Structure 1
């Protein structure tokens, strides 16, 4: 009984092993098929990559093939003509058809036909390539023409801007010369000498430091000394910085003379000198003299041309009213 059960178990194990082996064989077969399919796919991918890679040089290859084909066609046509000549000579000697020559002629004619078809196909693709190149050239020329037109327009606008700025500067200069003696303390506008150092901070600090001395004279001399220093074209305490992607000049706080000024005479004096420096650099970068400017005294800024014209019109109207009353 025990042996019978043992044999049954062995049979079951054997069947299981056989089934497992078949399943393994099946899976191995599937794996081989998948591997084969993967290899085919990779080969296709590689082939496509090669086709893409060779696309850039296709035109030159086709041109070379066209030239070779043309040469081959000419050569075959010459051979055909020679063959026809030989056939005619042979036929004149022996009227019997030469099957070998007919076969050769048929073969050459077929080759010539295939080459003509290849030549026609190459000519078609060559014309297509040439058309594409011509279109690109036209688009490029149109873009260049647009660019040239924009550059010309920009040049015209720059010239006009320069002329307008020049006219505004001349009008402003004329306004300053005309209004210097007309502007009074009661007016909203006044004349400010750009680049002129304000003496008041010097007077304030000197009155504190020298209470028992002639501090007014000391402050005046100190202010004059710094005014003369501003006129020195070799002293340019500025540094370049980038603002809005454009280079700008700012006061160089590391300048030794300015550092000494700030330490010895205080913040207010330092501010007065640096303000004058900025003004002089704005209107007269060479730094040789202060420049008169029409100033909005109420808002402490440079007066606009609109404000200057409004002031002049106001004065003219007042003058005309006075004349009428007289």
Structure 2
């Protein structure tokens, strides 16, 4: 009986298993483990491909940066060389123009003198022709009178008297002609040397013009390199080391501190932002001009000045401390807030006085001064060699 029940149970379980396999995806534990291993292996392979791709992108970015660094270094060297060549070219150019002004009148005078000598040569040839004809006539007359005897001597004496002044005149003309030709040859030789010098100087000036054209193109390249450096600093700059400073912007911290002392702490930041916005709009207005000039040794209020050399007297351009808006600001919020406004105003005047827009400047925050392209390159080299580089960061400061 038990055997029959066991057999029926086994047959029923077998049919149940077949029904489950027909309608469901039944897997053993071993199959599930193998499938999980294949899935994990595929994920690892995909991650390895992604990492390799990211490494290739980082290497390409590094290569691009090194290329940019070399280009900026070449541009900086060309700019220095161009400045030196421009200084060296100014003096020869002035000397060449002065030399042209001296030589041209001399050349005109020599041309006129040559024309005069040519006219005298024509006169001399006419005189020689007349003299030759006279001699021929005398010779014919002498031959005719040979038969007359005594009358021949008298006639010869008369002809000699006639010929003597004409011979003297001919000799004088020949001497004058020879002298003029010698002077003209000397002048022509000196003029040839001067003209050769002028031609050499003109060729040099042409070379200088070509060099200036090259320098202009190089300067344009330097300007483009500056723009690229500023754009890179906007993305990868650090406000504690090297980054972007907007010249003419007002520092907010002193305003917030002053508003906390004067207004309720909950509304101090809103009040500070509103007043800063009003002052920024006022400073952008070209009509806002709170400056004055004093002689050397005058009151350079808080060191906010510009030096201007005019005539024989040196004066200083300083902030006008009697400006009504600045006086009112000093009375209401204090000297630290006033310093932020005067600093922003002087930065606008220094970097872009036309229209006074905010201007992005590469800035060394450690030294609190504008930095050069070379230092920007060194900064990028430092972050590339350190762990602070993060590929793909967008408009984000590097910590």
TM-score (norm 1): 0.61
Report the alpha carbon displacement of residue 179 of structure 1 after superposing the two structures with TM. 1.3
* CA offset digits 1:149-207 (Å, max 9, x no partner): 2232233223213212322322331x123215xx4x7x533553433211233344445
Aligned residue for 2:344? 276
Instruction: Quote how far apart the aligned CAs of 1:211 are.
Output: 7.7
In the alignment, the residues of structure 1 paired with residue 371 and residue 115 of structure 2 have an alpha-carbon distance, to the nearest angstrom, of: 75
CA–CA separation in structure 1 for the residues paired with 2:112 and 2:217: 52
The one-character-per-residue Cα deviations of 1:73-116 (angstroms, maximum 9, x if unpaired) are 23422321231232244235422242201332244234323321
SS in 2 for 1:170: helix
Tell me: CA distance 1:304–1:60, structure 2 relative to 1, closer, same or farther (3 Å): closer
List per-residue Cα deviations over 1:292-315 (Å, max 9, x = no partner).
555322211234444444443333
After superposition, the Cα gap between the structure-2 partners of 1:120 and 1:229, relative to the gap in structure 1 and judged at 3 Å, is same
- Taking the aligned partners of 2:290 and 2:197, their CA distance within structure 1 comes to 49
What is the correspondence of 1:137-156 to structure 2 with a 5 Å cutoff?
A: 137-156=195-214
Root-mean-square deviation (Å)? 4.2
User: Displacement of 1:263 after TM fit?
Assistant: 0.9
- Displacement of 1:281: 5.1
Mapped to 1, the partners of 2:388 and 2:261 lie a distance apart of: 52
Could you tell me how far apart the structure 2 residues matched to 1:94 and 1:64 are?
45
More deviation, 197-206/137-146? 197-206
Equivalent residue, structure 1, for 2:121: 70
RCO greater where, 1 or 2, for CA within 8 Å and sep 6 or more?
2
Contact 2:230–2:244 under 8 Å retained in 1:
no
1:188 matches 2:237: no
Matched, 1:230 2:230: no
CA distance in 2, matches of 1:136, 1:321: 65
Query: Gapped runs of 5+ residues in structure 1?
Result: 1-54
User: How many angstroms apart in 2 are the aligned matches of 1:130 and 1:313?
Assistant: 65
1:260 to 303, 309, 324: 324
Quick one: distance in 2 between partners of 1:291 and 1:136?
Answer: 53
With over 3 angstroms needed to count, the CA separation of the structure-2 counterparts of 1:236 and 1:84, relative to structure 1, is: farther
Give the secondary structure class of the aligned counterpart of 2:363. strand
Task: Name which of 133, 149, 155 aligns with 1:82.
Answer: 133
2 CA distance for matches of 1:292 and 1:223? 19
Matches within 5 A, 1:33-72: 66-67=117-118, 69-72=120-123
Q: Report if aligned partners of 1:196, 1:290 keep a CA contact under 8 Å in 2.
A: yes
The Cα offsets for residues 240-269 of structure 1, whole Å up to 9 and x where unpaired, read as 974699xxxx977359xx812321122433
- Long gaps (5+) in structure 2: 1-105, 147-151, 292-305, 391-399
